Structure 1
Amino acid sequence: MTTVLCELISLNEFTIKDDRSLFKIFTGVQGHKYNGKEKEWIFPLKEYHIVLEQVKREKPNLLYREIPKLLLDTFLSLKPLPHVDINKTNIPKTLLQKLMPFQIEGVRYSIQKQGKIAICDQMGLGKSVQALAVALHYKREWPLLIISPSSLLSTWEQMIKDWVSMPVEVGVIYESKNASFDSEQIYVISYDLAVKLSDKVAKKKFEVIIVDECHYLKNANTKRTKTLLPIIQKAERRILLSGTPALSRPMELFTQLQIIQPALFKNFFDYGARYCAAFKSHFGWNFKGASNVRELQVILENLFMIRRLKDQVLSQLPPKRRQQRKDYPKSQTLESLLNSKNGLESEINDNSLLTSWKETAAAKLPSMINYVEGLVESGHKLLLFAHHRDIMDEFEKRIIEKKINYIRIDGSTATNSRFAKCDEFQKKEDIKVALLSITAASVGLTLTSATTVVFAELYWNPGVLVQAEDRAHRIGQKDSVNVHYLLAKGTLDDIFWPLILKKLDILESVGLSKNEFALTTQVEIDEKGQQHSNKRKASFDKSIKDYFVKKPLETIELSSDSPKCNEIELITDDSDFEIDQETLRILDEMDKQVVNQ
Structure 2
Amino acid sequence: MARGRQQPPRSRGGSQRGERRQHDEDGIIPVLARGVREIESAVERGRVTSSVRTRFQVVSLLVREARAAVRADQTVSESFRDQQLKRLDGVATILAKTAARESSLLELLGDDAVVSAEARRLKREMQAAAGLEPDPEEEPTDRLSTSGPGGGGERRVVPQSVVSRQLANPFLAPDFSAPRRPSRPRGQLAHWELLGPLFRAFEESVPGESACMDLPEADDVLVPQGRGLMRHQARLVTAARQGHRTFLLADEPGLGKTAQALLAAQAANAYPLLAVVPNVVKANWAHEAELWTPRHRATVIHGDGETIDGFADIIVVNYEVLDRHVGWLGDLGFRGMVVDEAHFIKNKTSQRSQHVLELSERIRTRVTRPLLMALTGTPLINDIEDFRAIWQFLGWIDDRKPLAELMDSLEETGLSPLDPGFYPAARRCVIDLGIVRRRKVDVAADIPERRIADLPVELDDEAGASIRAAEEQLVRRLVGRYDAAVEARTAEPPAEGLDLELVRRVATRELEESSSESGENIFSMVRRIGRAKAPLAADYTAQLARSVGKVVFFAKHIDVMDTAQETFTKRGIRWSAIRGDQTPRQRATSIDAFVNDPDVQVIVCSLTAAGVGVNLQVASNVVLAELSWTDAEQTQAIDRVHRIGQSDPVTAWRIIAAQTVDARVAELIGTKAGLAARALDGSAEEVDTTGPQLDTLVGLLTEALEARSAPPA
**Length-normalised TM-score, structure 2:** 0.49
What are the Cα deviations for residues 95-129 of structure 1, in whole angstroms up to 9, with x where unaligned?
A: 89621001112223344562222222122211222
Match of 2:450 among 320, 327, 347: 320
Match of 1:158 among 282, 287, 300: 287
Match of residue 590 from structure 2: 421
Assess if the C-alpha contact under 8 Å between 2:541 and 2:553 holds in 1.
no
User: Letter of the aligned partner of 1:233 in structure 2?
Assistant: R
User: Letter of the aligned partner of 1:363 in structure 2?
Assistant: R
Match of residue 362 from structure 2: 231
What are the Cα deviations for residues 277-303 of structure 1, in whole angstroms up to 9, with x where unaligned?
A: xxxxxxxxxxxxxxx986774344222
Alignment partner of 1:251 is 2:385: yes
Match of 2:533 among 368, 386, 392: 368
In structure 1, runs of 5+ residues without a counterpart are 1-52, 54-64, 72-80, 270-291, 519-537, 549-597
Alpha-carbon offset, residue 229 of structure 1: 3.6
Match of residue 359 from structure 1: 524
Aligned equivalents of 1:471, 1:513: Cα separation in 2: 26
Match of residue 631 from structure 2: 462
Listed as ranges, the matches of 1:267-416 within 5 Å are 267=401, 297-324=427-454, 329-330=463-464, 342=477, 346=509, 349=512, 352=515, 359-360=524-525, 362-378=527-543, 380=545, 381-388=550-557, 392=561, 405-415=574-584
Moved more, 227-236 or 216-225: 216-225
Aligned equivalents of 1:114, 1:429: Cα separation in 2: 38
User: Letter of the aligned partner of 1:483 in structure 2?
Assistant: A
Aligned equivalents of 2:303, 2:676: Cα separation in 1: 48
Aligned equivalents of 1:208, 1:331: Cα separation in 2: 33
Moved more, 465-474 or 413-422: 413-422
Larger RCO (CA within 8 A; separation ≥ 6): 1
Q: Percent identity?
A: 22
User: Letter of the aligned partner of 1:131 in structure 2?
Assistant: A
What are the Cα deviations for residues 4-57 of structure 1, in whole angstroms up to 9, with x where unaligned?
A: xxxxxxxxxxxxxxxxxxxxxxxxxxxxxxxxxxxxxxxxxxxxxxxxx9xxxx
Match of residue 265 from structure 2: 135
Aligned equivalents of 2:622, 2:311: Cα separation in 1: 43
Assess if the C-alpha contact under 8 Å between 2:573 and 2:601 holds in 1.
yes
Aligned equivalents of 2:564, 2:674: Cα separation in 1: 33
Aligned equivalents of 2:323, 2:534: Cα separation in 1: 30
Closer/same/farther in 2, CA of residues 539 and 94 from structure 1, 3 Å limit: farther
User: Letter of the aligned partner of 1:248 in structure 2?
Assistant: N
Please state whether the residue corresponding to 1:311 is helix, strand or coil.
Answer: helix
Assess if the C-alpha contact under 8 Å between 1:325 and 1:487 holds in 2.
yes
Aligned equivalents of 1:180, 1:490: Cα separation in 2: 16
Match of residue 443 from structure 1: 612
Match of 2:374 among 238, 241, 252: 241
Assess if the C-alpha contact under 8 Å between 1:334 and 1:359 holds in 2.
no
Aligned equivalents of 1:334, 1:84: Cα separation in 2: 47
Aligned equivalents of 2:663, 2:308: Cα separation in 1: 39
Please state whether the residue corresponding to 1:109 is helix, strand or coil.
Answer: helix
Match of residue 640 from structure 2: 471
User: Letter of the aligned partner of 1:213 in structure 2?
Assistant: E
Closer/same/farther in 2, CA of residues 434 and 188 from structure 1, 3 Å limit: closer
Aligned equivalents of 1:422, 1:506: Cα separation in 2: 32
Assess if the C-alpha contact under 8 Å between 1:387 and 1:437 holds in 2.
yes
What are the Cα deviations for residues 168-188 of structure 1, in whole angstroms up to 9, with x where unaligned?
A: 455655576899998654444
Aligned equivalents of 2:684, 2:574: Cα separation in 1: 35
Alpha-carbon offset, residue 374 of structure 1: 0.5
User: Letter of the aligned partner of 2:289 in structure 1?
Assistant: I
Assess if the C-alpha contact under 8 Å between 1:229 and 1:259 holds in 2.
yes
Assess if the C-alpha contact under 8 Å between 2:535 and 2:567 holds in 1.
no
Higher helix proportion (structure 1 or 2): 2
Match of 1:501 among 670, 676, 697: 670
Please state whether the residue corresponding to 1:378 is helix, strand or coil.
Answer: helix
Moved more, 352-361 or 104-113: 352-361
What are the Cα deviations for residues 492-536 of structure 1, in whole angstroms up to 9, with x where unaligned?
A: 8688656643432233234539999x9xxxxxxxxxxxxxxxxxx
Match of residue 213 from structure 1: 341
What are the Cα deviations for residues 334-378 of structure 1, in whole angstroms up to 9, with x where unaligned?
A: 977975782656385598169668634641354233023313432
Aligned equivalents of 1:208, 1:391: Cα separation in 2: 38
Please state whether the residue corresponding to 1:121 is helix, strand or coil.
Answer: coil
Aligned equivalents of 1:474, 1:340: Cα separation in 2: 41
What are the Cα deviations for residues 515-559 of structure 1, in whole angstroms up to 9, with x where unaligned?
A: 99x9xxxxxxxxxxxxxxxxxxx99786577699xxxxxxxxxxx
In structure 2, runs of 5+ residues without a counterpart are 1-187, 199-212, 404-421, 482-505, 701-713
Closer/same/farther in 2, CA of residues 331 and 512 from structure 1, 3 Å limit: farther
Match of 2:230 among 86, 100, 116: 100
Aligned residues: 431
User: Letter of the aligned partner of 1:159 in structure 2?
Assistant: E
Aligned equivalents of 2:357, 2:538: Cα separation in 1: 30
Closer/same/farther in 2, CA of residues 387 and 179 from structure 1, 3 Å limit: closer
Aligned equivalents of 1:200, 1:339: Cα separation in 2: 38
Match of residue 137 from structure 2: none
Assess if the C-alpha contact under 8 Å between 2:241 and 2:268 holds in 1.
no
Assess if the C-alpha contact under 8 Å between 2:224 and 2:291 holds in 1.
no
Aligned equivalents of 2:661, 2:631: Cα separation in 1: 15
Closer/same/farther in 2, CA of residues 293 and 511 from structure 1, 3 Å limit: farther
Give the greater-gyration-radius structure (CA): 2
Please state whether the residue corresponding to 2:608 is helix, strand or coil.
Answer: coil
Alpha-carbon offset, residue 379 of structure 1: 5.1
What are the Cα deviations for residues 169-215 of structure 1, in whole angstroms up to 9, with x where unaligned?
A: 55655576899998654444555776655565555544433333333
Alpha-carbon offset, residue 259 of structure 1: 4.1
Assess if the C-alpha contact under 8 Å between 1:460 and 1:499 holds in 2.
no
Match of residue 528 from structure 1: none
Aligned equivalents of 1:471, 1:230: Cα separation in 2: 47
Please state whether the residue corresponding to 1:383 is helix, strand or coil.
Answer: strand
Aligned equivalents of 1:424, 1:411: Cα separation in 2: 18
Please state whether the residue corresponding to 1:446 is helix, strand or coil.
Answer: coil
Assess if the C-alpha contact under 8 Å between 1:383 and 1:434 holds in 2.
yes
RMSD between superposed Cα atoms in Å: 5.0
Aligned equivalents of 2:523, 2:311: Cα separation in 1: 49
Aligned equivalents of 1:96, 1:340: Cα separation in 2: 35
Match of 1:481 among 650, 654, 661: 650
**Length-normalised TM-score, structure 1:** 0.58
Aligned equivalents of 2:629, 2:304: Cα separation in 1: 45
Please state whether the residue corresponding to 1:239 is helix, strand or coil.
Answer: strand
User: Letter of the aligned partner of 1:227 in structure 2?
Assistant: E
User: Letter of the aligned partner of 1:385 in structure 2?
Assistant: F
